[in-house]
Amino acid sequence: MRDDVLKAALASAQEPVPTMKRASRARRQDVSKRAAPDPFATLNPPMPAPSPRRSATPARLQRENAQDEIYERIYVAILEHRLHPGTKLAEERLAEIFGVSRARIREVLARLAHEQIVELYPQRGAFVAKPTIEQALDVFEARRLIEPAVLRRLVQTLTPEKLARLRQHQELEFDARRRDDKRAVIRLSGEFHSLAAELAGNTALARSMRELSVLTCLMIFLYDAPTTDSCRADEHTQIIDAIAKRDAARAERLMLEHLDHIETSMKLETATPEVDLETIFAG
């Protein structure tokens, strides 16, 4: 049953795998809640459930926390390919699973749609986004423009703490590979790129990068050859080493090569082109 698939996909999102909390989003969403967001506190266990002490916490805060958690669980399930591109995200079913109102779910879906992770269709509802070949090519074009700029800025603003965060993230990636945890590998390797953008300190770039990473994850599911790795860990290591040496030019070049590898591993050129009805029925 498809409902059970949805439930299972979201249930396993609770696994205690370290997940990268996106500080830039948190900053954008609830500036008032966090007086001084720690830029290095991105590597935290999954967001805790809202405090049960209702009287101690304003209801609005609780609602926002619950919403953040639902958002995070759906987001991670998509990132880890537990929710496939094109999957219907039925409002009433999600409301049941998370024990909240449909209005709350609608708000979360609207937020995911705003980030292009979910597509909303009038009358039909919400679906996990299914990027087309054309969109996939656009994503790579955008990444080629953004990521060298991200690394340049990261090198300029590098601190021992930022470097430690990158290395720490890579350890998680290595660990997931050792455990052969493919879902975690896909998620963590995508998050490496978002983390670099976040550490670079430009919130607009970080936000764009985060969206592009998720779209890439969806594209990998749709178009990647089954045997290839999404992001090669050794390439991330080389990029980090170049950053550590403050060699921005080398880091940028390695990143562009890395993006080439990811793009060529996808079968974007061999995919069936859009059917032209006119050509088919002409003559």
Interface contacts to Zn ion, rule CB under 5 A = 231
Tokens 């896909």: give the residue. Answer: 186
Closer CB to Zn ion, residue 11 or residue 256? Answer: 256
**C-beta of 255: minimal distance to Zn ion in Å?**
8
CB of 82 to Zn ion, least distance (A): 21
Spatial CA neighbour of 72 closest among 19, 119, 127, 113: 19
The CB density around residue 69, as the number of other CB atoms within 10 Å, is 19
Task: Show the DSSP H helices in 126-272 as ranges.
Answer: 133-156, 160-178, 182-200, 203-223, 233-244, 248-265
Q: Give 108's DSSP letter.
A: H
**What values do phi and psi take at 35, rounded to 5?**
-60, -50
Alpha-carbon 59 to chain mean position: 29
Closest to Zn ion by CB, 126 vs 255, is 255
Identity of the residue, 106 or 232, whose beta carbon is nearer to Zn ion in the bound complex: 232
Measured from the CB atom, the residue of 68 and 191 that comes closer to Zn ion is: 191
Minimum distance, C-beta of residue 189 to Zn ion, in the bound complex (Å): 5
Q: How far is the CB of 193 from Zn ion (least distance, A)?
A: 6
Q: Give residue number: closest CB to Zn ion.
A: 231
Smallest gap from residue 192 Cβ to Zn ion (A)? 5
Tell me whether residue 66 or residue 185 sits nearer to Zn ion (CB atom): 185
**Separation CA 7–CA 77 (nearest Å):** 11
**88 strand-pairing partners:** 127
